[in-house]
Structure 1
């Protein structure tokens, strides 16, 4: 489905800095000490089962709507630590908070000063509200909110991404109506050079491969042209098709999966290097695995085949292998699902990469056979199925769907929740359990 998708006290460049409600530099504390960092390890999570429904009574007892920004709670099923990032008063009063669609650009940065990382969020997204960046430090809380305005404001949804390059965790990329700029989130100044800025027409679906090596975007929210751009060489190529829906980068670079409107949920694999179509599928009519709402990993795309006999299976596509769409086992977690693959991973086998899946549009899907109904599930092509927790989101408005999204280092998952129908929506950050291996 195509989606249209406080800083310092002085003015910086062309950015108009807007004071935050809590004051510049204020810290909203987290109350729970954080252990020494290891590596994110989903195998420490409980195996996902069809019996793991949302525990609404236990969740309600936590009184999450009254929890201050920066405070934490433990998921009732998995005991995963979850930070509340926003509230009715933070970073601005009287607002609902959300974030962009579950795939695409990085909305949680890598740590850029010590353990501090930044989070992108949108204020009152249903009415086209502005975007903000807020800093998050485990064990300390949230701080330094700054509203994105001027040349640093996204022109629409899916027009922003943090760097996923460990060498440059302080960079972010933002698309205005005609230009994509790189800027430094420490100073909030534009950072030109190395292929930036780059001009184009109404870029959206801005996202990239590992180490910021290859960027992909769509021209216009309902456009028919996909752009692939290699900043190190300044090389830009395009693929145009009147029947395309949206792009999915191969996080290893080179290939772009194009989800199609016609045939519905079909796939075209564009080889950017040779500027040619490598292979394609027939989509729904052929009952091939649908290419829609997939997770974009390195050398893999993963999704759900809802066209099978209920309850469906998870699926996998290998970009450089024609006709490689394959079912990899079920049950799936629903028919209204989306995947996320923003975690950059380098296991010995690409099939050991973790993708994140969740249900959208209600607290949980109808029926009794779905995997961890309504939950956020981490899976691998090799058969792992692990439950991170439940978002407890009943929101029916697109802008406030959960859209769980991994950070580039896999340590956190960002999601939106209306806290089981509380009447407002906030952002949350779930912390993956960590092994004792040091990164």
Structure 2
């Protein structure tokens, strides 16, 4: 009876979104300062709780994922194929962003001018990107949350552990235990997503309002349409034609991760759910343990492909700068190669400044984008996470290691207090069972 009465997680999220919109409208139209501050605090605490686990989670997830490759045959081949499909889908995504931007001219008629922009406090360049990979010490990357440097250290530690062999088994065992502990704690935070969504959506409406959104209407629509084309068009098409699987099953299984990504705006924060749904869709655990953490820090079709392409066109139009074919090729190159700069955290400022600096566009344009960024970041991150599930599915299917029976049997997947619960359709007898995992 308790399970029957229990509200599904997706319904909790939807309720939080609706309530957030209502409270945000009340806070803005009624000029209720305390309500706006309360919504800001609720959303901020939820995001901060996610970020609290990011640094150690990334380190141990990458380390363990690399050491797990010792249990996978053709590990080098799988890793290279995963990277290849990351690049292919990113190239498709950035192309969609460029085409939409060229058709709609998102910067035209907005009423915005160069003086409305301001340089960001932090920006990215190729020199910063390349030299910033290697940390100056082992503490600062964790205190300053430099995910790219954390990934570098974790990769070095993981490769060293593989080379040590049996000598490193105690370290590997400890790392696996710590990772499980971090994921368990993060599950508790994830269960707060419906409450967090009230604060995040509510504050966005209260602070920005519909008037501001109206100025960015075309740009906002472009980001959502471009991301939606990738999420609901490109990925299902690749799954149907390349992986030879039913795309509807993909959405049934991956939806919990996609919806959580939309709310949390963090690929890394969603990583435990992303890994769980990837495994439930039939990808071997050993391979998923490598591919998902790798993707959570480098695979960003929303933040690093669709969005920078549209942002560059938007800013170029505001500042009256003409872009040529070589500039569009540069945008594609930066998006495909530099996506690791997004680091799986909320926002895409570093990637945007990297793109603008490469094109020679004014960085003040980033200030124009920051005003609307939280609303855009939701759809971008949902697209990121969907891609982080799609690529391993494609690789597993092409390499013949995808459990197709398991993929076809998943009918729904919900998050519960213990981590996850999946309803499985066994096929002919249509019986349902539940698999509960801690």
TM-score range, shorter chain: under 0.3
Structure showing greater relative contact order (alpha-carbon pairs closer than 8 Å, 6 or more residues apart): 2
Larger Rg: 2
TM-score, with structure 1 as normaliser: 0.25
Structure having the larger proportion of residues in strand: 1
Structure having the larger proportion of residues in helix: 2
